[in-house]
Amino acid sequence: MAWCEREGIDYIFGLAQNERLKKLIEAPMAQAAQQHAETKLPARVFSEFLYSTKDTWSRERRVIAKAEHMGKGANPRFVVTSLSPEQMAAQELYEKVYCARGECPENRIKENRSNCC
C-alpha cells in the first residue's frame, strides 16, 4: 500500500479479518442477520471506516466492510482502498470493482484452454 501511495497508484486489496475489524462491524452484522432472519435470503450491509493496524501500517486507511449473513451464517469481508468515498461509494467499490477482479480476461483464457486442449 505504501508503495502504491508513493507511486500515485490507487488500490483495492482484500484485508484479512481479525477480531478488531469484526468488532467494528457488530451493528451492521446484526442488521444483516436480522434481514436474513426476516427474508431467509442472503443479506448484505456495507459500511466503511478509517482503520490502521497496531504495528504495520504507517497511517489510517479507508476500509470497506461487507457484513453478510447467509443460510450458512455470518460472512464478513473487508477491503482496504486508496479511493475516497467521493470517488466511489462503498457498495459499488466492493461489488463492481473488487469482486469483478475475478472476471479479468486471463480467467476467460484459462477457461478456453481447459476446453480445447
DSSP collapsed to 3 states, 70-104: ECCEECCEEEEECCCCCCCCHHHHHHHHHHHHHHC
pTM, two decimals, is 0.83
pLDDT of residue 111: 54
Average pLDDT, consecutive stretches of 10 residues, N- to C-terminus, the chain (117 residues): 94 94 98 97 97 92 97 96 95 91 54 47
Q: Looking at residue 100, what is its pLDDT? A: 82
Helix (H) or strand (E) holding 42: none
**3-class SS at 113?**
helix
Given this model, what pLDDT does residue 117 score?
Answer: 40
d(Cα 109, Cα 113) in Å, to the nearest integer? 6
- Are 81 and 92 in contact by the 8 Å Cβ rule? The answer is no
Say what the pLDDT of residue 82 is.
96
Q: Give the pLDDT of residue 45.
A: 97
Residue 102, pLDDT score: 61
Residue-level pLDDT at 99: 87
CA 84/CA 75 separation, integer angstroms: 25
